[in-house]
Structure 1
Amino acid sequence: MMTLLAPKSSGLGELGDRTLRKVRRRVMPLIVLLYFVAYLDRNNVGFAKLTMSEDIGLNSAAYGLGAGIFFLGYALLEVPSNAGMYRFGARKWLARILITWGLFATAMCLVNGESTYYIVRFLLGAAEAGFFPAILFYLTLWFPAAQRVTVLGIFILAQPVSNALGAPVSGLLLQLDGVMGLQGWQWLYIIEGIPAILLGVLTPLLMTDRPRDAKWLETDERNWLSATMDAELAAKSQSGKHNFLAGLKDKRTLVYSALYFGLVCGIYGLGLWMPTIVAALGKFSTAEVGFIVFIPYAVAAVFVYFWSKRADRTGKRAWHSAVSMVLAGVGLLAAGYLLPVNPVLAMIGLTVSAMGIYGAIAPFLSMPSAALTGAAAASGLALVNSLGNLGGFISPYAVGLLKDATGSNQSGLLFLSLCLCLTAAATYLYARKRPEGDAALDPAVAAAAAVDQAKVS
């Protein structure tokens, strides 16, 4: 699968192509698997809600608050966690994150009311803090900026794929009511939480911290990759502004944090409410809801790879991010108005919105990843993810409040559509003429190309 997903490199030479092909085959399968499990554990509450809410007494607003409170714990510990990763290395730190979040993901089976629901969701977010930006930073150590959108696209594929595959599995697990005295939603949390713990044990054995440590590369490949990444770092480093604190002070970090907030509102506003919205389209069993929810995410997964490769090929990251968010906004707007009219057309709208939301992530995140380097990337990406993910707290809660106030899902979808369209416009206006928004303006790309040309000569 990873061979099929490998992008065609341009201007890297035979050595560069061969090296990055090996890196993709070695690094990406584990990265995708880890994110698959992470996304499954943070979003399976959307399916658990179908039966858990009645069992423990949650209304829509309470569910939305608890679903979103995950991101408060996540945001509070994001930057400190990434500082730990930068100091101790990706292997050890990701193992710590995986084991602790697996324990709390499994502990969700113990919630018995609003208070315990809020507490465990908060702790789950705190345990997972640092995972996503740590992976983003890790990828900046292994892949040149010019190839990073496609690589991020492969990584981001784990989101819609996790939702697509997790949906029918979660729907079926909900039917385990009564087995060993537990409810179906409790089995869902237990069975889907254990893989994170197991992967936490295996990750230190399977992951390599940096290119210079990659004994699975030949000497010339290891030297080429180290030289290429060093040249990219040197091209972007100015006056020492690649230290850890510089990433927190960089105004680009704050701008991309605000923009990511708007995108995340769409990601989790839709993701955490999709099973409930689909269940409202007709009289479906939990298993049937799972198989229906599979559809928009499966289509989105195909679109993510196509769109990421196109963004890589053209270098127009800002344009691809903005267009994708507009597509998502239009899909949500259409779904909102079609929900009471035609469930099939409403599902088409939800599918279009999933394509747009997930298609926007890779080209968007490649911009702060390209703008920041070294330790500044570790702190800056953590802050972008930390502040941006507060949208994951706001949007599920807002959708829940709107649903309780209006009695329908329509107002929540319109709210999410507005967030995405405004974010699309702001992203394009800010980044379209910046090096990270258009690869043609990026000095690091030119520097890397010069290194490749020198080696060929």
Structure 2
Amino acid sequence: MSTPTTQAPAGTHLASALRKARWRIMPLICVLYFIAYLDRNNVGFAREEMSRDIGLTATAFGLGAGLFFVGYTLFEIPSNAGMHRFGARRWISRILIPWGLLAMATAFVVDDVSFAWIRFLLGVAEAGFFPAVVFYFTLWFPVRERAAVLGIFVLAQPLANMIGAPLSGALLTLDGLLGLHGWQWMYLIEGLPAVLFGIAVPFLLTDRPANARWLTGAERAALENAIADDDARVTSHSVRSFMSALASPTAWAYAGLNFGMVLGIYGLAFWLPSIVGELGDFDPFQRSLVVAIPYAAGACFVLWWSGRADRTGKRAAHTAGSLSVAAIGLLGAGYTLHLSPVLALTFLCLAAIGIYTAIGPMLSMSASLFSGAAAAAGIGLVGAVGNIGGFVSPLTVGWLTDLTGSSQAGLLFLAAALALTAASVWLFARHRPEGDTRLVLPTTQESSR
């Protein structure tokens, strides 16, 4: 008499596959984004010393810092096409090695022109990394999991600034070693890991679930079926090709919303060290420790808020709420900057919490618009237009700082931009399936009953 075989339910295989995918993919991707964010933003920590040594004005610094995003924007969509064509392992490696070399080359700029050029070329080299990773996640995680996954990913942003601030501050103290300035050592040491990981990535990443030898056959099938089912319910069925996604009004709408959010992200990231410098008389390392405080506050809430957006399905509401909090924080910091350092720092913490908790829910909406080649194009478009904000923001804040002699006007500009973006997200996305997945998908809470 034969014993009947007991098969595990599909939900068990899916849960096992997702658990393995998170542990296999997320640590490496988060480390890579940590390095990327450190290499693009460490210029803010070096600003005062480097500006003094090579003669940069605040406007010239803001222009150079922002030119990174011009190069990034121009090559972001073509780069994401390459990711779709060649796969994650080869393409991310292709991005990492030249970006690391150019990040190290920033140590040898001598004036505003060379600084501007190296920042532009660094943007060209790094172009496509962020949207490539977002697209990579669409190949590995169902729609209902993406806000939480993206929350884990973007946690690298505040952590890079939180850890990078004292790290960069410590490296700045190497001034004079072997005849180099401290800021030169900072660029050389912090750029090297990108090159090393670029060599290692082809051996560490897996392109798609179908290629994952570390999943069982049942786990691969369950994961691919879940992704296909969610995509069929949420994504557009009328937009399938790469070019049609680039012409999609919805993709352009999310690109505009991302632009508004990015204004706040990089306005704060590039200028926070200088803003903190107005709060007291700090040496570079002391200033870096104070700069780390708002980022630590932001990091504490990212995972909880992104997970909550997935559990409730209300991604538009979570994004709009976060951006509103960020706007209040920047507004408060602007008006208390020269009144109370403690109160101003508290408001800056509130701003960082709002900015960084908005990113996961916001990007999960645009990442759920399309699938396949259309997803690669749409995600690239949203990122490309959004990153124009990375050019506009530091340049505008720098110009306002030169004009007024204070960071207050820049903070008020950023607050207004984020408040407008919060209202726009709420009005545009709250009744759309990617903005409220309860319209087409059961929430995590409901599906677990």
- Aligned equivalent of 1:122, options 120, 127, 145: 120
1: distance between equivalents of 2:47 and 2:286? 15
2: distance between equivalents of 1:394 and 1:39? 18
Amino acid in the other structure paired with 2:361: P
| Structure 2 segments unaligned to the other structure (5+ residues) | 1-8
* Correspondence for 2:44: 46
* Correspondence for 1:285: 283
* Correspondence for 1:354: 352
Where in structure 2 are the equivalents of 1:29-428 lying within 5 Å? 29-236=27-234, 241-428=239-426
Question: Judging changes above 3 Å, is the alpha-carbon distance between structure 1 residues 197 and 406 closer, same or farther for their aligned structure 2 residues?
Answer: same
Query: C-alpha displacement at 1:118, in angstroms?
Result: 0.2
Amino acid in the other structure paired with 2:16: R
Question: Judging changes above 3 Å, is the alpha-carbon distance between structure 1 residues 236 and 71 closer, same or farther for their aligned structure 2 residues?
Answer: same
Question: Judging changes above 3 Å, is the alpha-carbon distance between structure 1 residues 121 and 161 closer, same or farther for their aligned structure 2 residues?
Answer: same
Amino acid in the other structure paired with 2:201: T
Count of residues in Structure 1 that have an aligned counterpart in Structure 2:
440
Task: Report if aligned partners of 1:101, 1:124 keep a CA contact under 8 Å in 2.
Answer: yes
Query: Any idea what the Cα deviations from partners look like across 1:163-209, whole Å, max 9, x if unmatched?
Result: 00000000111111111110000000000000000010111100000
Task: Report if aligned partners of 1:78, 1:129 keep a CA contact under 8 Å in 2.
Answer: yes
Q: Which stretch of the first structure deviates more once superposed, 364-373 or 110-119?
A: 364-373
* Correspondence for 1:5: none
Q: Which stretch of the first structure deviates more once superposed, 225-234 or 405-414?
A: 225-234
Q: Identical aligned pairs, as a percentage?
A: 54
Task: Report if aligned partners of 1:140, 1:369 keep a CA contact under 8 Å in 2.
Answer: yes
Task: Report if aligned partners of 1:236, 1:373 keep a CA contact under 8 Å in 2.
Answer: no
1: distance between equivalents of 2:375 and 2:65? 29
Question: Judging changes above 3 Å, is the alpha-carbon distance between structure 1 residues 237 and 278 closer, same or farther for their aligned structure 2 residues?
Answer: closer
Task: Report if aligned partners of 1:233, 1:374 keep a CA contact under 8 Å in 2.
Answer: no
Secondary structure, aligned partner of 1:375: helix
1: distance between equivalents of 2:234 and 2:175? 56
2: distance between equivalents of 1:302 and 1:376? 34
Amino acid in the other structure paired with 1:20: L
Please, what is the CA RMSD of the aligned residues? 1.8
Query: C-alpha displacement at 1:14, in angstroms?
Result: 2.0
2: distance between equivalents of 1:13 and 1:229? 13
Secondary structure, aligned partner of 2:281: coil
Task: Report if aligned partners of 2:311, 2:443 keep a CA contact under 8 Å in 1.
Answer: no
Query: Any idea what the Cα deviations from partners look like across 1:303-351, whole Å, max 9, x if unmatched?
Result: 1111111111111000000000000000000000000100011000101
Task: Report if aligned partners of 1:235, 1:447 keep a CA contact under 8 Å in 2.
Answer: no
| Structure 1 segments unaligned to the other structure (5+ residues) | 1-10
Task: Report if aligned partners of 1:231, 1:448 keep a CA contact under 8 Å in 2.
Answer: no
Question: Judging changes above 3 Å, is the alpha-carbon distance between structure 1 residues 238 and 45 closer, same or farther for their aligned structure 2 residues?
Answer: closer
2: distance between equivalents of 1:386 and 1:436? 20
1: distance between equivalents of 2:332 and 2:236? 47
2: distance between equivalents of 1:447 and 1:247? 27
